[in-house]
Amino acid sequence: MHNLPDNLAQVLDRIHSASNQFSMPSPQLLAVSKKRTAAEIREIYNLGVHQFGENYLQEALTKKADLTDLDITWHFIGPIQSNKTRLIAENFQWVHSVDRIKIAQRLNEQCPEGKVINICAQVNSDGEDTKSGMAINELSDFADAMTDFSNLRLRGLMTIPAPRDSFEAQKQVFTEMKETLHSLKAQHPQLPLDTLSMGMSSDLEAAIAAGATIVRVGTDIFGPR
Ligand SMILES: *Cc1c(COP(=O)(O)O)cnc(C)c1O
């Protein structure tokens, strides 16, 4: 269960097989290391994965301080409170969980000079009030606001769908994301929209079938949390 080399090899094999099966490009693997130790991150890094996703700011900063000798690209993927934006802007190259203009505005203002932060708009693909993420009909205004945020690059969409019980149902929600990104690109051709951050341990094949460019995998690499 905690054999990280075997786990990682299996995940990479699943990604490779799904890409072949569905004739899609292989997405980038983002290793989701929330609740795992710096030593575990180092082990996965040494096996060739250099992109890590974290959900909890304080926990991430503690581990990051232990890993300064590694060339890690850090992605923030957790819920964002506005009083946390400065440290997120200072410590992460990517932020997948931007769910309102106000958060983007603060990240832009607090971005260190000379740095550009890649962001994704988190979309609530299930339309439940309780889940974070913006509604699809809020995306156009969000993308318009990017004109004012020169330190941010809106790269695409991130979503965390509720579990579904069939591959087809999983794929359907991811395909809606792909279509949403496609229309956003048509409306905002000036934006560098090339990213669909979708698919986790339980649904990465369906996400790849629908065109994911980044899959975010925690459990199947590191074991259960
Ligand atoms: C925890 C988490 C993941 C990884 O989920 P697993 O099911 O453990 O692979 C991916 N994305 C986000 C936003 C997460 O919070």
User: Are 122 and 115 within 8 A, CB to CB?
Assistant: no
Distance between Cα 113 and ligand 1 center (Å): 31
CATH at residue 61: 3.20.20.10
Q: Token pair of 131, please?
A: 């889940």
Give the Cα separation of 161 and 212 in Å (integer).
13
Q: How many domains are there within the chain?
A: 1
Average pLDDT over residues 71-94: 98
The pLDDT of residue 91 is: 98
Pocket of ligand 1 (CB under 6 A): 32, 34, 55, 77, 160, 200-202, 216-220
* Ligand 1 atom 13, closest CA: 77
For ligand 1, the distance from its centroid to the CA atom of residue 200, given in whole angstroms, is 6
Check: CB of residue 10 under 8 Å from CB of residue 29.
no
The mean pLDDT of 60-80, rounded to a whole number, is 98
Q: Is the pTM of this model over 0.75?
A: yes
Q: Whose CA is nearest to atom 7 of ligand 1?
A: 201
Percent of the chain with pLDDT over 90: 96
Name the nearest CA neighbour of 224 among 205, 202, 196, 208: 202
Q: Which of 8, 32, 177 to mutate to test the pocket of ligand 1 (most atoms within 8 A of CB)?
A: 32
| Nearest atom in ligand 1 to 219's CA | 8
Mean pLDDT of the chain: 96
Q: How far is the CA of 39 from the centre of ligand 1 (A)?
A: 19
Confidence band of 130 (pLDDT split at 50, 70, 90)? low
Kindly state the average pLDDT of the residues 66-70. 98
Cβ atoms 78, 96 nearer than 8 A: no
Average pLDDT over residues 24-29: 98
Domain with 140, as residue range(s), is: 4-222
180 and 140 Cβ atoms separated by less than 8 Å: no
pLDDT at residue 166 above 60? yes
Angle at 41 between CA 162 and CA 157, to 5 degrees: 35
Residue 7: partners with Cβ closer than 8 Å, 6 or more residues away: 220, 221, 222, 223
